[in-house]
Chains A and B, each alone.
Chain A
Amino acid sequence: MASTIRVRAISSGETTEVQVLIQHPMDSGFVKDAKGEIIPPHFIQQLIFEYDGRNVFVADWGAAVSKDPYVKFSFKGGNKGDDLKISWVDNKGETDTTTAKIQ
């Protein structure tokens, strides 16, 4: 299956700007479906970005992050062609991991 994670990591020399878009329902547990039954909560709790053996960014998310979440940040360093590892885990214990090349 194709990865749920889409990444764009672009190095400008001094810093690397990372944008990520993840396919995930991010159900809050407050919304009802067409039958009036509550859709149980299902959301990503932690998203980790790892570069050169260390975490450069850690996101802890609640159910209030939008469906198909997007996040953008930048870190110092990062060379073109290097690997950036991204992984998430949700409240049901599901996970996904991908590795992107810095451009």
Chain B
Amino acid sequence: MTTTHDGCLATRRLILKGAGAVTLTGLGIISFGMASAFAAANDKYPEDAFKQKGAAEAIKSLYGRTAEPSDKIKLDAPEIAENGAVVPISVNTTLTEVTSISFLASENPNALAAVYRIPPGTLPSVANRLKLAKTCNVIVIVESGGKLYSATKEVKVTVGGCGG
């Protein structure tokens, strides 16, 4: 199983590299669109995105583009989290054609926390519990109709979720 997995990752990396090379020749938008469509079409774990330090880098690694804020996303998170190890965060949205919802915490060692893929027929609404290292902005990215939308909320953390 390990071999197959590595093989697939290597293939994907090659394809992403290929997309990068095309970008340099000036076909940026098209190739990024292709890379993103490819990423959405399979169910591979986005290992590189989870290794990125900052939120912006993780979003770029995951989707290859940036998000615009939207008031159609409802992000529920506590104002103050007494225990950063378990912070209940939920999101739902009135945006249509949602294909994925991602959660990021700006001050965590690796910003990306979770990515949920929403196939057709599944409602764009997710609740989960995340660890927050310290007071930070929780960012939710909703991929809808091939575009990215975001919502942000600051959560004050009194005891961090990284073991202090």
Indicate if the CB atoms of B115 and A69 lie closer than 8 Å: no
Q: Name which of B9-17, B25-33, B121-129 contacts chain A.
A: B121-129
Indicate if the CB atoms of B131 and A64 lie closer than 8 Å: yes
Query: What chain B residues lie within 8 Å of A26 (beta carbons)?
Result: 131
B117 within 8 A of partner (CB): yes
A32 within 8 A of partner (CB): yes
A79 within 8 A of partner (CB): no
Indicate if the CB atoms of B117 and A62 lie closer than 8 Å: no
Query: What chain B residues lie within 8 Å of A76 (beta carbons)?
Result: 121-123
- Residues of A in contact, count (CB < 8 Å): 33
- Residues of B in contact, count (CB < 8 Å): 37
**Closest 8 CB pairs between A and B?**
A31-B163, A64-B113, A72-B127, A58-B117, A66-B129, A60-B115, A62-B50, A75-B122
Indicate if the CB atoms of A59 and B129 lie closer than 8 Å: no
Indicate if the CB atoms of A31 and B162 lie closer than 8 Å: yes
B38 within 8 A of partner (CB): no
Q: Which residue of A15, A30, A60, A73 is within 8 Å of B163 (Cβ)?
A: A30
Indicate if the CB atoms of B129 and A69 lie closer than 8 Å: yes
Chain B proximity of A71: nearest CB distance (Å): 5
A45 to B87, CA, bound (A): 19
Chain B window 70-86, contacts with chain A (Cβ cutoff 8 Å), 1 for yes, 0 for no: 00000000000000011
A13 within 8 A of partner (CB): no
Given contacts A69-B129, A70-B129, contact A57 B117 (CB under 8 A): yes
Contact surface of A with B, Cβ cutoff 8 Å = 15, 26, 28, 30-32, 45-46, 48, 54-67, 69-77, 93
Chain A proximity of B67: nearest CB distance (Å): 18
Indicate if the CB atoms of B125 and A46 lie closer than 8 Å: no
A60 to B121, CA, bound (A): 19
Given contacts A64-B110, A66-B86, contact A71 B2 (CB under 8 A): no
Indicate if the CB atoms of B128 and A45 lie closer than 8 Å: no
Indicate if the CB atoms of A75 and B162 lie closer than 8 Å: no
B43 within 8 A of partner (CB): yes
A26 to B85, CA, bound (A): 11
A43 to B44, CA, bound (A): 16
Q: Which residue of A32, A55, A59 is within 8 Å of B114 (Cβ)?
A: A59
Indicate if the CB atoms of A30 and B162 lie closer than 8 Å: yes
A66 to B128, CA, bound (A): 9
